[in-house]
Every structure is written in structure tokens, then in C-alpha cells.
């Protein structure tokens, strides 16, 4: 777009007001920088174009970490949730996963309200068409109206909007999600800056009319009685409310038959869709083809909000023609007479090879240009928000000329996410999973504040009041663990009667209280009657005391692993290394190392195509 006039001069411009963009803009503004947040349509701020929930396996961890660093997603879902559950509680403390159903409309309204009322931040409707860079550094952006916004840093958070196409059957719409306008010009501008783009795809299921669903044929899924807020600033009482239910049903052979018979009408299988889809969040036709031996798949029916009849049919994402969709939905128990309100569709969009980014999310070759969210090749609101937060913080750090924030893999899921995204080659949208976090026993959702709130405070994103409360909590945990470790329990009749009642074996000699806590059938809470001098402590403190004592041996072993990891991460690779000087590298490894320019030996070792032998060469070169 031709530059017509200079509209404004600011510090940071954020392009896109989705989950990444909102976090990026809020972080930058809260760090004191003059920030503008652009959205193609202000009615789509923090829109949830797909599932109506936040959190879940490993994504819940991300939200807790975002909150611990001073981000907004946790607070916003606490304000707008309509159901909350802690999932996976049987499989270990590190994989507890918090998930809440959101009221989509309210989620949008509340986030917009927060953004609009943040100092230093302007929310502006408009399509950014050009990024202006001179001598390898960002100078500003131009909008469709020819307005030039001069700025020092830009964070690209365009999600799925770049050259987006929505498809089902042979119906193709050149638009962003939910019929919103797409953005074409920016793709061209990025290409002219040397940014390589690729095509990814994702999809969403149909929304159906609540009045046409027979819930009696499904299994009700209620919210938890004792809920856990996402934000460490909230207590359960603060956000207590009536909860709505979700429902579980299943596909069956009839469903699968319809899908198989109509596969040739799917743009995915007929070759119309060029983008690569997510393996971990596949369409129903993908699941039926890939897991042919499974005779049924779980389908969850989830309300999209309290003021709407729209229901989200989780697990039935599809790009089959509308008539096929309706037919297959109607094979599900409870959906026999279902009527669609929105058709399921697949969406294709431009995104980058994220290995052109540094761990700060800044482009390696363009100073001041940052990028976050689905545009980096990830999927999910939470992954987007986490990157947005880091991108925003680092854009602000860049402008201020201070040390950027890089979390490593032992500090948080956010660290794992960003390291994976910029280091590992990915051929499909990246989804966070607990198995990606090697040190997850230390990266629990319950201790995100203990891990990260100091950092959030350092960057000015945590209020003094919150920080004081946090420090008090931390002290209380340490004090109580110290106290409990000193307590011995004698094998009295009273004690053994108590243990028997708790189906735990009786004592023959004295034992440490901590050893009793470590027994699988017991915990800190249960043992309160044997611990007469126990002070009254908050639930979150008690939880920490229990976990840190109960899993002490495991935690210590994991800490050992982290030490080894830190050792290798500490072996830095000089920025000006010439890989042609490193002898003995295989050609593929040499190319990858040159392209990625890893910052340390650890990161180098995680690049696909770089073998342990290559790393040994590199180590010898650095030692030599």
C-alpha cells in the first residue's frame, strides 16, 4: 500500500488482536511502552473461532504460566468460565490439567474491555498491509488506508488470517475464520522482506442448535465441586458460580460408513487442500481413516455460552460437504434430529517456518520484528497466548534496550514450546503436550507461580500487592515443610488405629511424618490428626507442602537431570561461528546448523538432522 500520511508514532505495533496479539499488546503497554493493537475487526478481539474452552492437558499449564508471568488469559477465563474441571488427576501431580468452558461472547467482551482500559494501549481497527523495514530493522507499518505508523518494534500475531481460505466439500470461501475478512497484502509484504511462508490447515466442527439435541441419550459431564481458578490472583470463592454441563456421546459404525463412502468428496483427500493439518487434533474423517480399527470415537457436546443455543461438537471437525456432515452428525446418539447453525469447515492459511526466529521470537534477520501465535505454526489459543506474552515482553525489551526474556526447557512449558517451535522441524501445526516437557515433574501447573512470578515481577508485569502475597505464600510453604520434616510419629495405639482406618500398615517403630506422607494411600491433609501443632494454612500452601514432600525423591532425581541439562545448555556457541570450519560434520547437519544458528550445544542437539556424532564434532571444535 502506498504511504499517504503519517498517522502516529509509537513504540510497538501489534498486528492482530487474537489470543497472541492481546497478550503481546498488554505486556508491551504494561511495561510502559506506547502500543497500538490492530485488528481487522474490533468485534473479533480475543475471538474463539474453534473450541469454547481454555486449558486441558498441558495447555492448562501454559495458562497458569501466562498468569504467573503477569499475562491476561487466566484472569479472563476466570471471569467468563461457565464450567471448570481438573482432568487427569489419577496420573500424577505433574499432569493434572485444568480446563474451563468459556462463554465465548463474554470472553471476547471482557478481554476487549481490559485491552481498551489499559494505559499506553490503543485498540485500532484496520488491516495492516505492509511492514516497513530499513537496513534490517523495523521502522513502522502501513494500513490499508495508506496510514503510516512509525514504530520501533512490531509483533505479528495474524493467526489464520493470512491468505486464508475456508473449505468444506467443494465450497470454498476466500475468508478468515467465521466469515471474517482475510488479509492478503501482508503476506506479499513479508515475502518482500525475505520471510519464507508455508501453508498450514486446521478445522472446526459444526455448531448445532441446542433445541434439537436429546441430552438424555448422552452422558452428562458436570463441573468440579471444588474448582481451581486459573489465575493465582483468584481464590475459588472469588469466582464461584453455577456451572453448566457438557455431554459425552460416541460415533459408531454408521458414522464411519458415511465418512468412508464420501471421502472422495473431501477436499482434504481429493487434493484441494494443500496445507498440512494437525496430527493431534484431526478431523473426524482423518481419525476414521487413520485409526481404522477403532469402532468408535468420543464426541463432547459443549455449550458456546449462556446466551446462545449454539453447541460445539468437539471431535467432529470436518471438511466434508455439508450434506455429508449433516448425515454423519445425525448418526450420533442424541443428535438424530440435530439442526446445524454453522457448518464445519477447514481453514488454510500462510504461516512461517519458525526456525527463522530467535528464542526471543524476534526474526533473526529483521531487528525489531517479532512474531507469535498460529502464524508461527502452532495450534491452540493457549500456545498463541503464551507466545504473544513472550513476544510482547521481548518487543518491549528491544525498544527499551534491556535483556530479553528467554525461558528454558527446565523453567516452563512456555520455554519448551518456544524452544520446540524455533528449533525443531515441524511439518504440522504444533500442539503443546505434556510429553514434550522432559522436566515436567518440576513444571507442574500448581507451582507455576513459584517458578515464574519472580520473573514477571522483574519485567514489571506483577503488581506490588500481588508480589507481596506471593512472597508470603512462598515463605509459608518453606516454613511448613521445614516444620513437618522435624516431626516424628511414635507407634502408639492411637496412631496405629488411625492408620488402620486409613488402610495403611501400622507402625512398629517410630517414623518420620514425611515418610507417612510419602505412602501412596496417605497425604499431608489426611495426616492432620497426627500432627497436633499444624498451623492453619491456605489451600494452595497445603497443596505445595504435600506435593513437595510426597514426591521428594522423584523431584530430586528430576533436579539432577535438570543440572545435566543446564550444563549442556551452558555450552554456548559463539554467534560468529563458521560451520565450514568445523570438520567432520555431515552435510545435512552443517546445512541445518548454518540455517538455524543455535545459541548453545543443547539447542543444537535438538535440531532434527543433527546427530550425536555431529554434536561431538561441534564440542571438540569448541573445546579445541
Interface ranges with another protein (CB under 8 A): 57-58, 87-88, 90-95, 97, 298, 433-435, 438, 440-441, 520-521, 551, 554, 557-558, 561, 567-568, 571, 583-584, 586, 601-602, 605, 611-613, 615-617, 619-621, 623-624
Instruction: Tell me how long the chain is.
Output: 624
Closest CA to 402 of 354, 458, 462: 458
Rounded-to-integer distance, Cα 201 and Cα 279, Å: 11
Q: How far is the CB of 611 from another protein (least distance, A)?
A: 8
d(CA 434, CA 557): 18
CB of 54 to another protein, least distance (A): 16
* Nearest approach, Cβ of residue 76 and another protein (Å): 24
What contacts 328, CB < 8 A, 6 or more positions away? Answer: 255, 258, 259, 284, 316, 318, 320
Contact in structure between 157 and 373 (CB atoms under 8 Å)? yes
**Least separation in angstroms between CB 538 and another protein:** 24
Q: Coil, strand or helix: which one is 301?
A: strand
**Helices and strands, number each (H, E), in the chain:** 21, 24
| Min CB(606)–another protein separation in Å | 10
Nearer to another protein, 171 or 567 (CB): 567
| Smallest distance, another protein to C-beta of residue 551, A | 7
Task: Give the bridge partners for 109, in sequence order.
Answer: none
Which residue's CB is nearer to another protein, number 105 or number 622?
622
Q: Are 246 and 302 in contact (CB under 8 A)?
A: yes
**Distance from chain centroid for Cα 258:** 34
CB of 335 to another protein, least distance (A): 19
Closest CA to 27 of 593, 414, 509: 414
Can you tell me the distance from the alpha carbon of 596 to that of 103, in angstroms, rounded to the nearest whole number? 41
Specify whether the CB–CB gap between 191 and 288 falls below 8 A: no
Least distance in angstroms from the C-beta of 19 to another protein? 22
Query: Chain-centre distance of CA 108, in angstroms?
Result: 18
Closest CA to 7 of 209, 150, 136: 150
Task: Count other Cβ atoms within 10 Å, centred on residue 592.
Answer: 21
Shortest Cβ 623–another protein spacing (Å): 6
Residue number, 204 or 434, with CB nearest to another protein: 434
Instruction: Quickly count: other Cβ atoms within 10 Å of residue 138's Cβ.
Output: 25
Contact 104, 311 (CB under 8 A): no
What does the alpha-carbon distance between residue 369 and residue 357 come to, in Å, rounded to a whole number? Answer: 10
What is the closest distance, in whole angstroms, from the C-beta atom of residue 306 to another protein in the complex? Answer: 25
Nearer to another protein (CB atom), residue 147 or residue 615? 615
Nearer to another protein, 322 or 438 (CB): 438
Tell me whether residue 554 is exposed, middle or buried, using C-beta atoms within 10 angstroms of its C-beta: 0 to 12, 13 to 18, 19 or more: middle
Q: Which is nearer to another protein, 510 or 584 (CB)?
A: 584
Q: How far is the CB of 506 from another protein (least distance, A)?
A: 18
Q: Whose Cβ is closer to another protein: residue 90's or residue 535's?
A: 90
Comparing CB distances to another protein, the nearer of 514 and 558 is 558
Query: Which residues is 122 bridged to in the sheet?
Result: 36
Closest CB to another protein among residues 367, 606: 606
Burial class (CB in 10 A: 0-12, 13-18, 19+), 483: middle
Q: What order of strands is seen across the sheet that includes strand 345-352? A: 171-173, 165-168, 345-352, 197-204
Question: 466: which 3 cell numbers?
Answer: 500481588
- Comparing CB distances to another protein, the nearer of 479 and 519 is 519
Q: Give whichever of 210 and 586 is closer to another protein, judged by the CB atom.
A: 586
Query: Which CB sits closer to another protein, 127 or 419?
Result: 419
Smallest distance from another protein to CB 624, Å: 4
Amino acid at each position: 500500500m502506498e504511504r499517504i500520511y503519517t498517522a502516529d508514532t509509537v513504540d510497538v505495533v501489534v498486528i492482530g488482536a487474537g489470543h497472541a496479539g492481546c497478550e503481546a499488546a498488554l505486556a508491551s503497554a504494561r511495561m510502559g511502552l506506547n502500543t497500538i493493537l490492530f485488528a481487522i475487526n474490533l468485534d473479533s478481539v480475543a475471538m474463539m473461532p474453534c473450541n469454547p474452552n481454555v486449558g486441558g492437558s498441558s495447555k492448562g499449564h501454559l495458562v497458569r504460566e501466562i498468569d504467573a508471568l503477569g499475562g491476561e488469559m487466566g484472569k479472563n477465563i476466570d471471569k467468563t468460565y461457565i464450567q471448570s474441571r481438573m482432568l487427569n488427576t489419577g496420573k500424577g501431580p505433574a499432569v493434572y490439567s485444568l480446563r474451563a468452558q468459556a462463554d465465548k461472547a463474554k470472553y471476547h467482551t471482557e478481554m476487549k474491555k481490559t485491552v481498551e482500559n489499559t494505559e499506553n494501549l490503543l485498540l485500532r481497527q484496520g488491516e495492516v498491509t505492509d511492514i516497513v523495514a530499513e537496513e534490517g530493522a523495523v521502522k513502522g507499518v502501513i494500513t490499508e488506508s495508506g496510514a503510516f505508523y512509525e514504530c520501533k518494534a512490531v509483533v505479528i500475531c495474524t493467526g489464520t488470517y493470512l491468505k486464508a481460505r475456508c473449505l468444506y466439500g467443494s465450497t470454498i470461501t476466500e475468508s478468515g475464520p467465521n466469515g471474517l475478512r482475510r488479509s492478503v497484502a501482508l503476506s506479499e509484504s513479508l515475502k518482500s522482506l525475505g520471510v519464507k511462508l508455508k501453508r498450514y490447515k486446521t478445522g472446526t466442527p459444526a455448531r448445532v442448535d441446542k433445541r434439537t439435541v436429546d441430552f438424555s441419550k448422552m452422558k452428562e459431564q458436570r463441573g468440579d465441586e471444588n474448582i481451581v481458578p486459573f489465575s493465582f490472583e483468584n481464590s475459588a470463592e472469588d469466582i464461584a458460580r453455577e456451572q453448566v454441563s457438557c455431554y459425552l456421546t460416541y460415533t459408531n459404525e454408521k458414522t464411519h460408513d458415511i465418512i468412508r463412502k464420501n471421502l472422495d468428496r473431501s477436499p482434504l483427500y481429493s487434493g484441494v487442500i494443500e496445507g498440512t493439518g494437525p496430527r493431534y487434533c484431526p478431523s473426524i474423517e482423518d481419525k476414521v481413516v487413520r485409526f481404522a480399527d477403532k469402532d468408535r470415537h468420543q464426541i463432547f457436546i459443549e455449550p458456546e455460552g449462556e446466551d446462545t443455543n449454539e453447541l460445539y461438537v468437539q471431535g467432529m471437525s470436518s471438511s466434508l460437504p455439508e450434506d455429508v456432515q449433516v448425515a454423519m452428525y445425525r448418526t450420533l446418539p442424541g443428535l438424530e434430529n440435530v439442526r446445524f447453525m454453522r457448518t464445519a469447515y477447514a481453514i488454510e492459511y500462510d504461516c512461517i517456518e519458525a526456525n527463522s526466529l530467535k528464542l526471543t521470537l524476534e526474526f533473526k534477520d529483521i531487528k525489531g520484528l517479532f512474531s507469535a501465535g498460529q502464524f508461527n505454526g502452532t495450534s491452540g489459543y493457549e500456545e498463541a497466548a503464551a507466545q504473544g506474552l513472550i513476544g510482547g515482553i521481548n518487543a518491549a525489551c528491544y525498544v527499551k534496550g534491556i535483556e530479553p526474556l528467554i525461558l528454558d526447557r527446565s523453567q516452563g512449558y512456555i520455554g519448551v514450546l518456544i524452544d520446540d517451535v524455533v528449533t525443531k522441524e515441524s511439518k504440522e501445526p504444533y500442539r503443546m503436550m505434556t510429553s514434550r516437557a522432559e522436566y515436567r515433574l518440576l513444571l507442574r501447573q500448581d507451582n507455576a507461580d513459584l517458578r515464574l512470578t519472580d520473573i514477571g515481577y522483574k519485567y514489571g508485569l506483577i503488581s506490588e500487592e500481588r508480589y507481596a502475597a506471593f512472597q508470603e505464600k512462598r515463605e509459608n510453604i518453606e516454613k511448613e515443610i521445614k516444620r513437618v520434616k522435624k516431626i516424628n510419629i511414635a507407634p502408639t495405639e492411637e496412631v496405629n488405629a488411625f492408620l488402620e482406618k486409613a488402610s495403611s500398615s501400622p507402625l512398629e517403630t517410630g517414623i518420620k511424618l514425611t515418610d507417612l506422607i510419602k505412602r501412596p494411600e496417605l497425604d499431608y491433609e489426611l495426616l492432620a490428626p497426627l500432627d497436633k501443632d499444624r498451623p492453619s494454612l491456605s489451600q494452595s500452601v497445603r497443596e505445595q507442602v504435600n506435593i513437595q514432600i510426597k514426591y521428594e525423591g522423584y523431584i530430586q532425581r528430576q533436579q539432577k537431570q535438570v543440572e545435566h541439562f543446564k550444563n549442556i545448555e551452558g555450552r554456548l556457541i559463539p554467534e560468529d561461528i563458521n560451520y565450514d570450519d568445523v570438520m567432520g560434520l555431515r552435510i545435512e547437519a552443517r546445512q541445518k546448523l548454518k540455517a538455524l544458528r543455535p545459541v548453545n550445544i543443547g539447542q543444537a542437539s535438538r535440531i532434527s538432522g543433527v546427530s550425536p556424532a555431529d554434536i561431538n564434532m561441534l564440542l571438540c571444535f569448541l573445546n579445541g
